[in-house]
Amino acid sequence: MNDSQKKILFIDDDKFLLDMYALKFTKAGYEVKTADSTDVALKLLREGYQPNVLLSDIVMPGMDGLELVSVIRKEKLAAEAVIIMLTNQGISDDIARAKSLNVDGYIVKATTIPSEVLAEVEKIRSSKKAA
């Protein structure tokens, strides 16, 4: 896998988590961009940024992460990206909403450490490539 295939966009309003995951994924060879709001994420994507992986929280001020995914799908932004929700929301309504948007993965933050998140992202990416 070459480096151009390892671009990830993290969207979360928690700066500490963004920094922690950015460090973890950078060390794993990813080019990491972070967005502390859905507005910042949409601006990056509308300006042409093409991540291979998009990891988004659900609960954020303004537009939530699932609304963001809906806009991304509608506007055909990051069409090739693996989209994974990384959230503390483990409730079935959110999981059902994510599935209806064809989200590729759903990780509950409270029960996973960063190395597990990295491993899960790699697993989801591999299975999507193989499909």
- More confident position, 90 or 98: 98
Tell me phi and psi for residue 10, to 5 degrees.
-100, 130
Q: What is the mean pLDDT of the chain?
A: 91
pLDDT band at 131 (very low <50, low <70, confident <90, very high): low
Distance, in Å, from the CA atom of 116 to the CA atom of 123, rounded to the nearest integer, reads: 10
Q: Is pLDDT above 80 for 71? A: yes
pLDDT digits (tens, 9 = 90+) for 4-56: 579 999 999 999 999 999 999 999 999 999 999 999 999 999 999 999 999 99
Domain count, the chain: 1
Residue 102 belongs to what domain range?
A: 3-130
Q: Residue 44 belongs to a domain with what CATH number? A: 3.40.50.2300
Distance, in Å, from the CA atom of 57 to the CA atom of 44, rounded to the nearest integer, reads: 17
- Ramachandran quadrant class, 44 (left: phi over 0; alpha: psi -120 to 50; beta: rest): alpha
